[in-house]
């Protein structure tokens, strides 16, 4: 038997129903915020991601050569593609550009619950400006998406990479070492960071300062522990705009560094605490990438939601509602009514109802058993007598109650009841 590749999944209809519902709710929010959908290729020239994603993402990339000997990569994320699209085709379009996307991404990671080699993101990018309102707008969109998906327990943490980055850069001139330091701060691996400082004889004072800042997490007032600067004023302003948007309980977290290397300003993450190790359901922030792809530098702010993790968190939060794929299952009582019932099925479907019919030529009782296992709300039974009177027997599958209804009226009757 051929198995699916490690770290990938198959999704059945019940799971897809839930995923699409959550996804649609999030898409609706994106539209309400004025974001339009874009789709970019699933594979790109590998260079696109190598330029600024950072060593971790590059290491995990699925890279291959095509028959024309081009080095391509399955996208590990979608931000770089959206900015490439912007530089290629949209650099003169009126700004800001507000885009959202839904798609699969690929990273060669160690698979576990919530961590896959193929996973799905819904993300958004606002291209064209950098100011606290822009950043707050993107954070508000993210939070509203998560809420619309139905999640109640989540924590929004907001920081600014400029604080740690500028401190480190003021004393460390090698960009690769700066990146390594920031990555260890992101992982809160302070022991390894200390060892690295010792090995490279970097100033201990810097270590103490950056680890202290990375541990500033909680109320916005904790910013008072830092010297006032342009960055602290900027972060305060983001929180004040978020308040106007009705988002009062966001936390300050100056330890957020993010796994991708392209961020330059505000950074934010959302966790679903009930997920344990893989609790980060969203990551984002402001960055510039366009200049690396041949365009002028343009500020953008964006995020990506890990749809798989949102679905896992939703499952932990509430008892799943029964999947109701069918409004009605139509059953001919005898073989010679099979064609007649197909006409009824076609009419009900054209009225917008979700209707299925016995295609296995089962007996009446077996068909009813199937209708029940398919979780149909109603069974519509057509016998000889019903056919003669142009009627049907409508059976409520839950209560077992039955009534005879005119065939022409059964559609509106069901519609009135299923809403």
Interface residues toward ligand HAM, by CB under 6 A:
77, 79, 107, 109, 114-116, 119, 121, 123, 125, 259-260, 280-285, 302-304, 306, 308-309
Strands (E), 25-151: 36-37, 43-45, 63-65, 71-74, 97-106, 118-127
Our CB check for ligand HAM shows the closer of 37 and 219 to be 37
- Listed in sequence order, the residues at least 6 apart from 353 whose beta carbon sits closer than 8 Å to its beta carbon are 327, 328, 411, 414, 415, 418
- Taking the least distance from each CB to ligand HAM, the nearer of 287 and 329 is 287
Pick between residue 154 and residue 378 the one whose CB is nearest to ligand HAM: 154
- Of 137 and 308, the one with the shorter C-beta distance to ligand HAM is 308
Within 10 angstroms of residue 50's Cβ, the number of other Cβ atoms is 17
Is the Cβ of residue 7 or residue 194 nearer to ligand HAM in the bound state?
7
Q: Which residue, 179 or 280, has its beta carbon nearer to ligand HAM? A: 280
Distance CA(79)–CA(76), nearest Å, equals 10
Smallest separation (angstroms) from ligand HAM to the CB of 143: 14
Q: How far is the CB of 47 from ligand HAM (least distance, A)?
A: 17
Q: Of 162, 41, 158, nearest to 106 (Cα)? A: 41
Angle among Cα 17, 20, 25 to the nearest 5 degrees reads 125
Q: How far is the CB of 206 from ligand HAM (least distance, A)?
A: 26
Q: Smallest distance, Å, CB 111 to ligand HAM?
A: 8
**Residue of this chain nearest to ligand HAM (CB atom):** 306
Q: Can you read off the two tokens belonging to residue 126?
A: 């606002």
CB of 410 to ligand HAM, least distance (A): 45
Closest contact distance (angstroms) between CB of 347 and ligand HAM is: 44
What pairing do the DSSP bridges indicate for beta strands 355-357 and 378-382?
unpaired
The whole-angstrom separation of Cα 358 and Cα 356 is 7
Q: Which is nearer to ligand HAM, 162 or 302 (CB)?
A: 302
- The secondary structure of 108-137 as a DSSP string is ----BTTB-SEEEEEEEEEES--SHHHHHH
Angle at 134 between CA 131 and CA 140, to 5 degrees: 140
The tokens for 419 are: 């809403």
How near is the Cβ of 170 to ligand HAM at its closest, in Å?
25
């Amino acid at each position: 038997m051929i198995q699916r590749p490690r770290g990938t999944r198959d999704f059945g209809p019940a799971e897809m129903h839930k995923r699409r519902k959550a996804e649609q709710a999030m898409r609706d929010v994106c539209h309400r915020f004025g974001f339009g959908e874009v789709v970019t290729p699933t594979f790109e020239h590998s260079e696109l991601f190598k330029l600024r994603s950072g060593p971790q993402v590059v290491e995990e990339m699925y890279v291959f050569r095509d028959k024309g000997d081009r080095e391509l990569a399955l996208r590990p994320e979608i931000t770089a593609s959206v900015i490439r699209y912007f530089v290629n085709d949209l650099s003169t379009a009126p700004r800001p550009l507000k885009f959202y996307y839904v798609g699969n991404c690929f990273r060669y990671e160690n698979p576990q619950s919530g961590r896959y080699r193929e996973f799905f993101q819904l993300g958004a990018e606002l291209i064209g400006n950098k100011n606290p309102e822009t950043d707050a707008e993107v954070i508000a969109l993210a939070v509203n998406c998560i809420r619309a998906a139905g999640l109640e327990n989540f924590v929004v943490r907001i920081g600014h990479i400029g604080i740690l980055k500028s401190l480190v850069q003021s004393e460390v001139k090698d960009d690769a070492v700066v990146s390594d330091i920031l990555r260890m701060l992101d992982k809160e691996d302070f022991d390894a960071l200390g060892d690295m400082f010792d090995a490279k004889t970097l100033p201990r004072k810097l270590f103490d300062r950056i680890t202290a800042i990375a541990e500033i997490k909680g109320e916005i007032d904790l910013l008072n522990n830092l010297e006032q600067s342009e960055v602290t004023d900027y972060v305060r302003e983001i929180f004040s705009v978020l308040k106007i948007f009705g988002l009062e309980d966001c936390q300050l977290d100056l330890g957020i560094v993010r796994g991708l290397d392209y961020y330059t300003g505000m950074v934010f993450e959302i966790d679903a605490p009930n997920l344990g190790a893989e609790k980060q359901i969203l990551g984002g922030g402001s960055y510039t990438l366009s200049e690396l792809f041949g365009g002028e530098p343009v500020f953008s702010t964006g995020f990506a939601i890990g749809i798989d993790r949102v679905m896992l968190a939703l499952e932990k939060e509430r008892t799943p509602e029964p999947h109701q794929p069918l409004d009605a299952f139509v059953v001919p009582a005898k073989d010679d009514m099979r064609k007649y019932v197909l006409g009824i099925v076609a009419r009900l479907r054209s009225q917008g109802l979700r209707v299925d019919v016995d295609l296995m030529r089962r007996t009446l009782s077996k068909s009813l058993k199937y209708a029940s296992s398919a979780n149909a709300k109603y069974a519509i039974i057509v016998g000889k007598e019903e056919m003669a009177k142009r009627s049907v027997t409508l059976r409520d599958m839950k209560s077992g109650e039955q009534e005879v209804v005119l065939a022409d009226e059964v559609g509106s009757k069901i519609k009135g009841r299923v809403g």
